[in-house]
Amino acid sequence: MSRRIEDYALIGDTTTAALVGADGSLDWLCLPRFDSPAAFAALLGDEENGCWRIAPADAAATSTRAYRDASFVLDTIFETAAGRVRLTDCMLLGGANPRVRRIVEGLAGSVAMRMAYAVRFDYGRIVPWARRIDEGLIAVAGPDALLLSADVELQPDGLRHVADFTVEANERVVFELTYFASYDAMPAARLPDDEVAKTEETWRGWAAQCTYEGPCKSVVLRSLMTLLALSYPPTGGIVAAVTTSLPEELGGSRNWDYRYCWLRDATFALYALLGGGYIDTALAWRAWLLRAIAGDPMELQIVYGLRGTRRINEWEVPWLAGYEGAKPVRIGNGAHDQFQLDVYGEIVDLLFVAQRFGIAYDDDVWALIVQIVGVVEQRWSEPDRGLWEVRGEPQHFTHSKVMAWVALDRAIASVELHGRAGPVERWRATRDAIHAEVCARAYDATRGTFTQAYGSSALDASTLLIPLVGFLPIDDDRVRGTVAAIERDLVRDGLVYRYTQGGGGTDDGLPPGEGAFLACSFWLVDNYTLAGRRDEAEAMFERLAALCNDVGLLSEEYDPQAKRQVGNVPQAFSHVGLINSGFNLWHVDKPAEHRAANAES
- Tell me how many helices (H) and strands (E) the chain has: 15, 28
Q: What confidence tens digit (pLDDT) does each residue in 498-509 have?
A: 999 764 333 446
Residue 195 domain flag: no
168 and 222 assigned to the same domain: no
Cα separation, 569 vs 565, in Å, equals 9
239 and 127 assigned to the same domain: no
Helix axes 398-418, 424-441, angle to 10 degrees: 150
Say whether the peptide bond before residue 32 is cis (omega within 30 degrees of 0).
yes
Residue 15 domain flag: yes
CATH code, domain with 76 = 2.70.98.50
> Residue 59, Cβ neighbours under 10 Å: how many?
8
Span 328-354, mean pLDDT? 90
Q: Which residues pair with 157 in a beta bridge?
A: 160
Say whether the peptide bond before residue 570 is cis (omega within 30 degrees of 0).
yes
More confident: 578 or 596: 578
128 and 274 assigned to the same domain: no
Q: What single string gives the DSSP state of each residue in 147-179?
A: EEEESS--EEETTEEEEEEEEETT-EEEEEEEE
Query: Which of 153, 186, 219 marks a domain boundary?
Result: 186
Q: What confidence tens digit (pLDDT) does each residue in 237-282 have?
A: 999 999 999 999 999 998 999 999 998 888 889 889 998 999 999 9
Cα separation, 57 vs 55, in Å, equals 6
Q: What confidence tens digit (pLDDT) does each residue in 169-202 have?
A: 999 999 999 999 999 999 999 999 999 999 999 9
CA distances from 570 to 9, 10, 557 (A): 9, 8, 11
Cβ contacts of 299 within 8 Å, gap of 6 or more: none
Q: What confidence tens digit (pLDDT) does each residue in 53-98 have?
A: 999 999 999 999 999 999 999 999 999 999 999 999 999 999 999 9
Q: What is the pLDDT of residue 389?
A: 82
242 and 371 assigned to the same domain: yes
Outline where DSSP puts E strands in 226-384: 231-232, 237-238, 261-262, 303-304, 315-316, 330-331
Q: What is the pLDDT of residue 502?
A: 62
What mean pLDDT, rounded, does the chain reach? 94
Residue 199 domain flag: no
Residues in the chain: 601
251 and 317 assigned to the same domain: yes
Q: Which residues pair with 55 in a beta bridge?
A: 114
Q: Which secondary structure element, helix H or strand E, spans residue 197, and what is its range?
A: helix 195-208
**Per-residue confidence at 598, pLDDT binned at 50, 70, 90?**
low
448 and 531 assigned to the same domain: yes
**DSSP H helical segments within 490-598, as ranges?**
518-530, 534-545, 572-586, 591-597
Q: Are 538 and 585 in contact (CB under 8 A)?
A: yes
The total number of structural domains in the chain stands at 2
CATH code, domain with 284 = 1.50.10.10
Cβ contacts of 153 within 8 Å, gap of 6 or more: 163
pLDDT for 511 beyond 80: no
Cα separation, 428 vs 420, in Å, equals 15
Nearest partner of 406 among 482, 462, 352, 339, judged by Cα: 352
Q: N- to C-terminal Cα distance for the chain?
A: 55
239 and 178 assigned to the same domain: no
Name the least confident of 102-106, 347-351, 503-507: 503-507
Residue 386 domain flag: yes
Q: What confidence tens digit (pLDDT) does each residue in 106-156 have?
A: 999 999 999 999 999 999 999 999 999 999 999 999 999 999 999 999 999
Residue 144 domain flag: yes
Q: What is the pTM (predicted TM-score) of this model?
A: 0.96
Structural domain boundaries enclosing 226: 209-597
Cα separation, 93 vs 377, in Å, equals 46
Q: Which residues pair with 19 in a beta bridge?
A: 10, 28
What is the three-class DSSP state of 447?
Answer: coil
Q: Are 544 and 578 in contact (CB under 8 A)?
A: yes
Residue 534 domain flag: yes
Q: Are 97 and 187 in contact (CB under 8 A)?
A: yes
Residue 489 domain flag: yes
285 and 248 assigned to the same domain: yes
169 and 274 assigned to the same domain: no
182 and 241 assigned to the same domain: no
Q: What confidence tens digit (pLDDT) does each residue in 456-497 have?
A: 999 999 999 999 999 999 999 999 999 999 999 999 999 999
245 and 358 assigned to the same domain: yes
Residue 428 domain flag: yes
241 and 345 assigned to the same domain: yes
The Cα angle at residue 39 between residues 36 and 43, in degrees rounded to 5: 100
